[in-house]
Amino acid sequence: MKRTLIISIVLMVVAYAGISVLMSMKNDAPARSGQDNPAALNYQIYCAGCHGENLEKFTAKKWMDESGNASIIKSIKFGIDTEGMPAFEQTFSDSEIEDLAAYVKKGIPADRSSLKPALKEGDVIKSEAQDFIVETIVTGLDVPWGLVFLPNGDLLISERAGTLHRFSKGKLSPPIEGLPPIRAKGQGGLLDLCLHPDYATNGWIYMAYSALNPEKGKSTSNTAIMRARLEGNTLVDQQVIFTGSPFTDRSHHYGCKLAFNEKGQLFFGIGDRGQHFDFPQKLDNANGKIHRVNDDGSIPDDNPFVNTKGALASIYSYGHRNPQGTSIHPLTGELWVSEHGPRGGDELNLVEPGKNYGWPVISYGINYDGSILTELTEKEGMEQPVYYWTPSIAPCGMTFLRGDRYKKWNNNLFLGSLRFHYLERVVLNGHTVAHTEKLLQGIGRVRNVVVGPDGYIYVAVETPGKIVRLVPVEK
């Protein structure tokens, strides 16, 4: 299939999706206007993926309270590179930009939490293979990111704002002390958590975060991995085992999900840091890569580029955009990674050592402003995704289900959709996606999904943040 035909299909699908969303909106709030409003349609097609269908992802900005729309018009027209905001000067006319700015300014809801559809506690949700009940376990969060259970059943929760909490006996602790300096801006902050496979013996907790450049303060950052032990409500014995380089002034595409394999080696992905033409295809930097290190940050002897001159020895694979899910298959030990594409072309990849996954040379997506990013969807020497999503669902958090709690879901893959507010169940047949199913539709932006030591699926939802548990019900 030629690239031009694919682009045409992508644009039609995205446009149709935007119209469908608009047609399904039930009330008269400005942010939910019908398809007869061109600004509303443009917002749904070009903006909703990042800012929410109801504008709920806008955080407090000076332009919200200023008179007139000059600031937001400037942002839409010229973009903000450091925050990942693209320029739409070539996409819209001046009048369309003015209308879009007015639509956004008028439509931002005062109470964003009220826009989130509620799933009633105790109601049985019927799915294709497994009915279940949703139980809310933790509330009072903002943007929960990492979830990890301690052996005693306590739950550690990282929040993107740079706080770490312990949930124990029904209560959320005050913020845990001892975290490193963190750049909590844009997509950056305190990210994923995981335990050492031998945690019961050594007590190591691993955490990913957006680290500040010690030489330039708050102006630049990159993804780092630290391990520490928890004593009471304080982290001790902190050791930074990896810091990505180079630092950049961008506040997006940090990665970063963590996963240990059976050998005790740690996998994690770092995004292209919003500079896709600079980093992913080059081996001399950490960005746009999947990395593998030993538990202390040292390099495994069999990493694919250990003996490649000029290459960063931690690199396991390259050509990635923004990996947001990292999971080891419980039966095969294979590494699976989900990652955000641009507009369209989110990917599920089976990651193998030394391979090139193509970004930005090949992609099934287009630029956010609707322009063509690349003419190629495949190229010799570059891997194809096992599966891709168009329109983008913004996949985040990913886990394989293990155990017998959900008898018909075992070994299925579960991942969250930030864009469309659901949990996706993926059925694999070897290395092929045989089936998908949308669960929890309307619950909110799903940031993470894990399986607890009790065998239940736990799901982290954003703004207002909460953790829910899926309790199976036999048919």
Q: Which residues have a catalytic role annotated?
A: 253
Number of H helices, E strands in the chain: 6, 25
Write phi, then psi, for 18 (nearest 5 degrees): -65, -45
DSSP for 21-73 reads HHHH--S--GGG--TT-HHHHHIIIIIHHHH-TTSTTPPP-GGGTSSSSHHHH
**DSSP summary character for residue 142:** S
Please give the DSSP secondary-structure letter assigned to residue 370. S
Amino acid identity of residue 161, one-letter, is: A
Tokens describing residue 436: 């998908």
Q: What is the rounded CA–CA span in Å between residue 54 and residue 57?
A: 8
Length of the chain: 475
List of long-range contacts for 94-102, beta carbons under 8 Å, 24+ apart: 96/38, 96/39, 96/42, 97/73, 98/69, 98/73, 99/38, 99/39, 100/39, 100/42, 100/43, 100/47, 100/76, 101/69, 101/72, 101/73, 101/76, 102/39, 102/69
For strand 346-351 and strand 335-339, is the pairing parallel, antiparallel, or unpaired? antiparallel
For residue 50, give the nearest of 80, 89, 13, 95 by alpha carbon: 80
Distance of CA 84 to the CA centre of its chain: 15
In DSSP terms, 221 is beta-bridged to 212, 248
Sign, Cα dihedral of 287, 291, 295, 301: negative
CA atoms of 221 and 247, how far apart (whole Å) = 5
Secondary structure of the chain: what % helix, strand, coil (to 5)? 15, 35, 50
Dihedral angle sign, alpha carbons of residues 4, 8, 9, 11: positive
CA dihedral sign, ordered 320, 323, 328, 332: negative
Helix (H, G, I), strand (E, B) or coil at 397: strand
Would strands 144-149 and 131-141 be described as parallel, antiparallel, or unpaired?
unpaired
The residue among 377, 315, 292, 389 whose CA lies nearest residue 348 is 389
